[in-house]
Amino acid sequence: MKEFSTEVEAADALHQAYKKLSAEIGKVVIGQDEVVRLLLTSIFCQGHCLLVGVPGLAKTLLIQTISSALDLKFSRIQFTPDLMPSDILGAETLDKDRNFKFIKGPVFANIVLADEINRTPPKTQAALLESMQEYAVTIAGQKYDLERPFFVLATQNPIEQEGTYPLPEAQLDRFMFNVLLDYPAYDKEVDIVKSTTSDVKATVEHVLTGDEIIYFQHLVRKVPIADNVIEYAVKLVHKTRPNTDKAAPVANDYLEWGAGPRASQYLVVGAKCNALLNGKYSPDIEDVIAVAKPTLRHRIVRNFKAEAEGISIDDIIDNLIKSN
């Protein structure tokens, strides 16, 4: 790994690495620049990410491509109704000498793709909770540390309701971002069809190693931030909490539950990373706003009135930002 003489030089290196990563990922995944930015932001912030989109929008391909560009050990878990916790974590088995031996499961990787995470029962979903929070797995009273860096990048289909199990709020809160994938624009879809219906296969080059990612993760935490930016982020979160002294009118009208302190933490660290990725050395309020929707949309719960009037979570967040 290259040594940097100053943290400013390291910040510039992260900015350049981000541009190169975006270019490499763009060879395979076309028209999802904003999604790529948020995914890479969560990785550099030591966070996990939930991708929500209808089938066929290249959610799985995007995560596989990112793992290739980052030169990390990749593991894919297809969540199904009959999946068991041991299928994720691993299990103890008897070897030929009749001694118990732990066989590691697919969670022992750097990037874990939890594909269609809402298609498995809560018991199996909960198998990821310890690994996402503690970066470890406990089996039969023995704790096994996971190799760093470690990320869970999960996908979810929002329209297929039969045979699905919605993630509980406690597990949703473990994800730094909830990123929505939309249909590509017309010209982007033309490019997608051209690139995927030919015999030419794009080659993704490695850009960063695991050690470099860990270094940049620590660098993000060191970024200086003004008190007024932190106060803006915390105030924005407090406005989501209905029937409190700092609640916004839209929260009292349309929210059942607001975001917790983890939202404030992720808003600040996400703003720091967003600033570095854009070539700045310290975040401002615009950087907080840039990560507000993916940070808040899975941490606030609409009430019946909002659902009846067709008020979306993103509409509420937009209103909160305007009033903050």
SS3 content of the chain, % helix, strand, coil (to 5): 50, 15, 40
How confident is the model over 131-159, as pLDDT tens digits? Answer: 898 899 888 788 889 999 999 999 887 76
pLDDT given for residue 215 in this prediction:
93
* C-alpha distance from residue 113 to each of 43, 63, 192, 275 (Å): 13, 7, 23, 27
pLDDT given for residue 184 in this prediction:
83
Whether the CB-CB separation of 108 and 145 falls below 8 Å is answered with no
Structure tokens at 35: 């999604």
pLDDT given for residue 159 in this prediction:
62
Which among 156, 61, 70 has a CA at the least distance from the CA of 114? 156
pLDDT given for residue 277 in this prediction:
94
How confident is the model over 112-122, as pLDDT tens digits? Answer: 999 888 888 88
The two beta strands, 255-257 and 301-302, are: antiparallel
pLDDT given for residue 164 in this prediction:
78
Segments in the chain below pLDDT 70: 1, 159-163
Locate all alpha helices (DSSP H) within the chain, ordered by sequence. 7-26, 33-44, 59-69, 85-89, 122-125, 129-134, 169-172, 186-196, 210-222, 227-238, 249-254, 261-277, 285-290, 292-296, 304-308, 313-323
* In the block, residue with structure tokens 């996971």: 146
pTM, rounded to two decimals: 0.90
pLDDT given for residue 1 in this prediction:
66
Measure CA 55 to chain center.
Answer: 19
pLDDT given for residue 199 in this prediction:
78
